[in-house]
Structure 1
Amino acid sequence: MISSLADIEPSSRGSLISIGEDSVVDSFVKFKPAGGLGAVRIGSRCVINSGCVIYTGNGISIGDDVAIAANCTLAPVNHAFEDADELIRKQGFLPSRGGIRIGNDVWIGANCVLLDGAVLEDGVVVAAGSVVRSRLHAYGVYAGTPLRLIRQRVPRSRSTDGPAAGPQQPRL
């Protein structure tokens, strides 16, 4: 379901925005084609909460069963700014670092920023207010700025102790 209050700007360059079956795009989510020709592909059963801004840039791929909390920004694009004699807005954009790739069963907390080159493997959790610009390994729980791994989730199917292993304590 896409809220009637979501804002999906049309692309003058033909960037594709596709939203999978049973996914929810809440009120005041903004999709903005800018900074590249990348497509945005959102899998099935995803939830994107209000206040999120999603730029198409160099492309975004979101797997299935992903939850993105309120007020997150996904920006798969970087401005050029090296020439101090030229206005930044006239310098264009840097080459792609691969866009943004989000696996399945990922939870992104409120107010996170994901930048070009961010890769979130399956099962990742990102704590509120974090900035992500690199690869986050499967089932890791990440927090902070700078971002760091605070614990590892262990799926029962991969646990050596079986279902009775219980949750791991965070490493501080």
Structure 2
Amino acid sequence: MTLEFDATARISKLADIEDSVRGTLIRIGARSVIDSFVKIKPAGGSGNVVIGADVTLNSGCVIYTGHGLTIGDNVAIAANCTFAPVNHAFQDRHRLIREQGFQPSRGGILIGDDVWIGANCVFLDGAVVNTGCVIAAGSVVKEEVPAYSVMAGNPLRRIGTRS
């Protein structure tokens, strides 16, 4: 694993960032905060995790590296969010799921700048949250979200727009 973090980033001693056997890059930008009990786990691919400047990842968030995650600048992420840019293969019912590996990438996960993510959200491979969005607590995001949208739910739906 290559861990690069800006000297001004604050990473809790209680955060758990696992080593990668595939050379995954984990980069944490200036003034970003990685809170207690945040877990970053290389799993399901060799994608990189790039966290921008002035990002806050609150307690209990879990990031799987999978096919990659990029978080822009000035992003606030509430507690217990999961970022899973990887999907298990499962089609062959004659083989155990755990023996089927992973599906091809849907592009990883991209979170734009100036985004607020509420508690307990789940982001799946292929999610793109564009600039200025608000994602309400408990939402599941697996597709592209237009810039400045306020989104909620599962299935995800637009409930407003930032003006």
TM-score normalised per structure 2? 0.94
Q: Which residue among 119, 122, 136 is the counterpart of 1:127? A: 136
Structure with the greater alpha carbon radius of gyration:
1
Moved over 3 A (4+): none
Match of 1:68 in 2: 77
2: CA distance between counterparts of 1:94 and 1:51? 26
Structure whose residues are more often strand by fraction: 2
How far residue 136 of structure 1 moved from its aligned partner, in angstroms, is: 0.4
CA distance in 1, matches of 2:18, 2:99: 22
Trace 1:90-109 onto structure 2 (pairs within 5 A): 90-109=99-118
Match of 1:8 among 1, 4, 17: 17
How many residues end up aligned between the 2 structures?
Answer: 154
The root-mean-square deviation of aligned C-alpha atoms, in Å, is: 0.4
Q: CA deviation at 1:29?
A: 0.2
Using the size of structure 1 for normalisation, the TM-score is 0.89
Q: Which residue of 2 aligns with 1:19?
A: 28
Q: Which residue of 1 aligns with 2:87?
A: 78
Structure 2 unaligned spans of 5+: 1-9
The equivalent residue for 1:89 is: 98
Amino acid across the alignment from 1:64: D
3-state SS, counterpart of residue 89 of structure 1 = helix
Alignment match, 2:158: 149
Deviation at residue 98 of structure 1 after TM alignment: 0.2
Q: Aligned partners of 1:75 and 1:81: how far apart in 2?
A: 16
**Equivalent position of 1:162 in the other structure:** none
Q: In structure 1, the residue corresponding to 2:40 is in which secondary structure?
A: strand
Deviation at 1:78, TM superposition (A): 0.4
C-alpha distance after superposition, 1:122-170 (max 9, x if no partner)? 000000000000000000000011110001112xxxxxxxxxxxxxxxx
Runs (5+) with no aligned partner, structure 1: 155-172
Alignment of 1:36-47 (within 5 A): 36-47=45-56
